[in-house]
Amino acid sequence: MSHEVKPPKPSAPPGEAPPADGPEAIQRELLQRALEGLAGGDMLSFMQLLPMERWHDGEWSVARIPLLPIFLNPMGILHGGVTAIFLDSLMGWSLAEQAGRPVVTVQLNVNYVKPGRGPWVVVRARPTHIGRFTGVAEGRVEDHEGQLISQGTGTFFFTGDGDGTG
């Protein structure tokens, strides 16, 4: 059995510019910032490029991230690798913020529950263990209706003492 794979439909008719604040415009801005940073020799963090809202909800670090066309696979759903980046980054941030020390990922486990669709996703993460050398966090990615898309856990190594020297 074969399935036809169709790319996501553009938000503007051919020959017309997409809306200035639509997903394509946001994606163009993201790519432009990445190119400018790389051209200047700056190895940018992928997550620093994202147009996201971040906040805290109790013990959870939370981010709302638009589903840009570049984040979708050929079937038009959130790419699994992008989902893993979102979880890895927010779990790492949650640990680094709470421990006051920078981290790098040692292990990442992601379980995919359902396809990611919609205008945005919400990523939630919180530390579950902070030790002397490593920390563990859990996270989840939800669609715009609050339905679980994926969940994960990560183990992170503390790379510095919080003084910014790494």
- Each residue's pLDDT tens digit, 120-165: 999 999 999 999 999 999 999 999 999 999 999 999 999 977 654 4
The two structure tokens encoding residue 41: 């020799």
Mean pLDDT value across residues 89-112: 95
**Least confident segment among 38-47, 63-72, 124-133, 153-162:** 38-47
Where in the chain are the domains?
51-158
Confidence of residue 86 (pLDDT cuts 50, 70, 90): very high
Confidence of residue 27 (pLDDT cuts 50, 70, 90): confident
What average pLDDT does the structure give for the chain? 83
How far are the Cα atoms of 44, 47, 61 from residue 40, in angstroms, in the given order? 10, 18, 31
**Percent with pLDDT over 90 in the chain:** 61
Confidence of residue 35 (pLDDT cuts 50, 70, 90): confident
Identify the architecture of domain 51-158 in CATH: Roll (3.10)
CB 134 within 8 A of CB 155: yes
Compute the C-alpha angle 81/87/92, nearest 5°: 125
> Going along the chain, which residue ranges are E strands?
53-57, 60-66, 103-112, 120-130, 134-143, 148-158
The two structure tokens encoding residue 93: 């941030």
**Least confident segment among 5-9, 47-51, 129-133, 151-155:** 5-9
